[in-house]
């Protein structure tokens, strides 16, 4: 993977904004857990990408590219769709987190 792809991975993380649409939906426990699981996986992607950008480990770009391409393929998605799904799950998670905090007040 080249620096351009690493930059894309790192950039999507910083450009997310919570969606308020999730607050209007009734989600099942399974859907909530699915969003949380995907958000966690996406956090690992972001952490690996940031680590590689900062350390520039030899072979690190190729490792990250192969690892996440394989993960996307396992889910039956091209890598760009996986990134879009990450954006959506993170936005949903952030909205649920915010909503949960508001309900506790």
Give, as one character, the DSSP assignment of residue 76: T
Q: Check residue 25 and give its pLDDT.
A: 63
Q: Is residue 54 domain-resident?
A: yes
Distance CA 25, CA 6 (A): 34
**Among the listed residues 102, 101, 88, the one whose alpha carbon sits nearest the alpha carbon of residue 17:** 88
Over residues 44-96, the pLDDT tens digits come to 999 999 999 999 999 999 999 999 999 999 999 999 999 999 999 999 999 98
Q: Is residue 52 domain-resident?
A: yes
Helices (H) then strands (E): counts for the chain: 4, 0
Q: Is residue 59 domain-resident?
A: yes
Kindly report the number of other CB atoms within 10 A of residue 86's CB atom. 21
Residue 103 has pLDDT above 80, yes or no: no
Q: Is residue 30 domain-resident?
A: no
pLDDT confidence tier of residue 12, bands split at 50, 70 and 90: very low
Q: Is residue 94 domain-resident?
A: yes
Over residues 31-43, the pLDDT tens digits come to 999 999 999 999 9
Domain span at 7: 3-11+35-104
Q: Is residue 18 domain-resident?
A: no
Domain count across the chain: 1
Q: Check residue 28 and give its pLDDT.
A: 87
Residue 14 has pLDDT above 70, yes or no: no
Q: Is residue 25 domain-resident?
A: no
């Amino acid at each position: 993977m080249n620096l351009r792809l690493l930059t894309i991975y790192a950039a999507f993380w910083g450009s997310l904004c919570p969606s308020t649409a999730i607050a209007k939906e009734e989600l099942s426990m399974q859907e909530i857990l699915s969003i949380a699981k995907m958000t966690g996986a996406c956090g690992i992607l972001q952490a690996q990408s940031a680590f590689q950008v900062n350390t520039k480990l030899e072979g690190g770009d190729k490792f990250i590219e192969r690892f996440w391409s394989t993960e996307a393929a396992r889910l039956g998605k091209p890598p760009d769709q996986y990134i879009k799904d990450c954006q959506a799950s993170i936005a949903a998670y952030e909205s649920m987190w915010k909503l949960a905090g508001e309900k506790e007040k």
